[in-house]
Amino acid sequence: MIFSFEIPLLILLLLTAAGAIIVKDLISAVLILGSYSFVLALVWAWLGAVDVAFVEAVVGAGLATVFFLLTLFNASPKDTEIRRQPVPFIAFLGLPMLGLLLLFAAEDLPEFSDPKSPASVHVSPEYLEQSYQKTDTENVVTSVLMDYRGFDTLIETAVIFTAGIACALLLRRDSK
Amino acid sequence: MINPHDSVIVRTMSRMLIPLIQLFALYVLFFGQYGPGGGFVGGVMLGTSLILGILVYGRDGVPCRAARKLMHGDGVGLIIFAGVGGICLVMGGQFLNYSSLEIPLADDARRRYLGILMTQIGVAVDIAVTAISIVFSLSPINDTEDTEPSRD
């Protein structure tokens, strides 16, 4: 049955996302956000995107949690206090309408795993058919990331390098 | 802020776990062409294993000193990645077109395979070093804090 995994995962996802917003202190929110990433990784794995699930589990649940916690431990308690504004009345009116609009737009999206959908008729068949002969690499995702889309990955690597440099420039005050 | 952890359980377990994490990270890195994973995940896991060591053994522990040495390699990964592309360019092909890497005894597909492997190592090095560098940035480790009194 198709709904046997979908519905519990979706409920868990919504619960952890809401919990991270509602909870009273920030450390609990960070940990709940980590569990949210794990549930999201399960969703990706269930959809068949194993590489994305791997990255989500390692980065979202592991590395990002460590970064958040280190930031929280170094901030003063006055800065990490949560001051919640009361929800304005217009949000109760506007957000359901936005949700309805998005659901209405989602009607036009192609069916999941539809072979005739625009995304899977353009260049995907070429990758799936020829990437093993051309690159000797069994994992299509790796060959697309590193060879067919090598420029994108190069710039992504540069972005991550820039992030590290920017953190060092902004936060390290002890170095000469 | 980074002080060694007191608990014997945590220290023993992390001494056992850190090599395992690093082994798995290397597996993910080098088998990314056969299964899920690749340079990004492998690099993050290599970085996290050292971060675990830093958090558990403190600023005087071996992982912290190793990580400090590693931080001098900031940008090496990017140079590896762009350098492989540049070698392709020098050898008469297009930038990042690995089939023009002139590796002997390798046909076109094998050259692309080796090119992908080298660039993945570059990505992994870049990401591991960046993760460690961000952790050092976020945790103020003042070498002068204990020895030198503040002047203001």
One pLDDT digit (tens) per residue for chain A, 176 residues: 566 778 889 999 999 999 998 888 888 999 999 999 999 999 999 888 899 999 999 999 889 999 999 888 888 888 777 878 888 888 889 999 999 999 999 988 888 778 888 888 888 888 888 888 888 888 888 888 888 888 999 999 999 999 999 998 988 776 54
Asked whether residue B142 carries a pLDDT value surpassing 70, the answer given is no
Find the mean pLDDT for residues B115-125: 92
Cross-chain Cβ contact A74/B137 below 8 Å: no
Which pLDDT score is estimated for B35?
86
Asked whether residue B18 carries a pLDDT value surpassing 90, the answer given is yes
**For residue A165, is it within any domain?**
no
Find the mean pLDDT for residues B12-18: 92
Length of chain B: 152
**For residue A67, is it within any domain?**
yes
Tokens of A9: 């995962």
Tokens of B35: 């299964």
Cross-chain Cβ contact A74/B45 below 8 Å: no
Which pLDDT score is estimated for A30?
93
**For residue A93, is it within any domain?**
no
Tokens of B69: 């040495």
In chain A, what residues touch B86 (CB-CB under 8 Å)?
A: none
Q: Report percent pLDDT > 90 for chain B.
A: 38
Cα B151 to the chain's mean position, in Å?
38
Asked whether residue B4 carries a pLDDT value surpassing 90, the answer given is no
Q: What is the mean pLDDT of chain B?
A: 85
**For residue A111, is it within any domain?**
no
Domain range holding A15?
1-84
**For residue A61, is it within any domain?**
yes
Q: Is the ipTM of this complex over 0.90?
A: no
Which pLDDT score is estimated for B148?
43
Asked whether residue B152 carries a pLDDT value surpassing 70, the answer given is no
Nearest to B50 by CA among B71, B35, B78, B34: B71
Most B CBs within 10 A among A52, A54, A165, A172, hence the mutation to make, goes to: A54
**For residue A49, is it within any domain?**
yes
Q: Identify the helix (H) or strand (E) that includes residue A72.
A: helix A64-74
Strand extents, DSSP E, A23-137: none
Number of domains in chain A: 1
Asked whether residue B74 carries a pLDDT value surpassing 90, the answer given is no
Ranges of H-type helices in chain B: 8-30, 39-57, 62-70, 76-90, 108-138
Cross-chain Cβ contact A146/B39 below 8 Å: yes
Nearest residue, CB atoms, A157 vs list B112, B123, B139: B123
Which pLDDT score is estimated for B129?
93
Chain A nearest-CA distance from B88, in A, is: 13
Nearest to A15 by CA among A33, A41, A42: A33
Cross-chain Cβ contact B115/A147 below 8 Å: yes
Q: What's the first-to-final CA gap in chain B, in angstroms?
A: 21
Tokens of B51: 């971060």
Which pLDDT score is estimated for A174?
60
**For residue A3, is it within any domain?**
yes
In chain B, what residues touch A173 (CB-CB under 8 Å)?
A: 140
CA–CA separation, A15 and A37 (whole Å): 12
Most A CBs within 10 A among B46, B79, B134, hence the mutation to make, goes to: B134
CA–CA separation, B122 and A104 (whole Å): 44
CA–CA separation, B114 and B87 (whole Å): 13
Cβ neighbours of B118 (radius 10 Å): 18
Cross-chain Cβ contact A173/B140 below 8 Å: yes
Q: Give the residue with greater pLDDT, B1 vs A110.
A: A110
**For residue A163, is it within any domain?**
no
Asked whether residue B145 carries a pLDDT value surpassing 50, the answer given is no
By C-alpha distance, the chain B residue nearest A60 is B44
Nearest to B81 by CA among A147, A96, A117: A147
